Amino acid sequence: MAQLFRPGANSVARTALVLLLLSPLLLVLVLILQHTGTITGQDRFVEQAVPFSHKHHAGELGIDCRFCHVGVETGAKATVPTTEVCMTCHSQIWTNAQMLAPVRNSLATGTPLVWSRVNRLPGYVYFDHHVHVRNGVPCAACHGDLREMPLTAQATPMTMQWCLDCHRDPAKRLVPQDRITWSHPYDAPIPDDEFQRIHAHLLGVERSRKLTDCSTCHR
């Protein structure tokens, strides 16, 4: 009688059974890993060509976020500072500091500074900074309190679930426009008239585009 199974069939069957038994545990492990900083990048520090400190510039010196991130109120990208923006100050102070050598070299050669991205979204996700900033979402909602960061880290998970949690109930995450760049924009209570204005504005937004539609973020 001809052989029905190959010599390694028993090993394949045993392996398949073991994997079948372990699959629930593997699924749980994957689900757990999806919410850790290893996968999301939360709390991750990214090395930069110039060790820029938000704590020093924005916190101690009080420089407004929009001085460097000039596109945050006008376009999808917040933009990073050009060499010329850095040299606005550093042509006068700390002019010979060793850590600023890349900035001076950039100015001398005309080669733009290359900043490494800290907060990453997949290529299939569309995010528009100015839509959020001009509609009451403070910088700290996504980026944390940068004024306390000597080195910049990703403060939030930025997962799809995290974004949807906000889009499903945005009202409690919005603040008056004068708090957009505050370190702790949610600490002070929002006046009733301003709270009502925010809710009325949200109703207008929802009429034009439902915030939880797939096409809102995936285009």
Residue with tokens 């689900």: 31
pLDDT at 35 (0 to 100)? 59
pLDDT at 27 (0 to 100)? 65
Rounded CA separation 161/164 (Å)? 5
Could you say which residues of the chain have pLDDT below 70? 1-9, 26-37
- 83 is written with which tokens? 């060499």
Is 72 in contact with 129 (CB distance < 8 Å)?
yes
36-91 pLDDT per residue, tens:
567 888 998 889 999 999 999 999 999 999 999 999 999 999 999 999 999 999 99
| Closest C-alpha among 130, 135, 157, 134 to residue 144 | 157
pLDDT at 209 (0 to 100)? 78
| Closest C-alpha among 105, 100, 81, 49 to residue 92 | 100
pTM of the model: 0.80
Is 107 in contact with 95 (CB distance < 8 Å)?
no
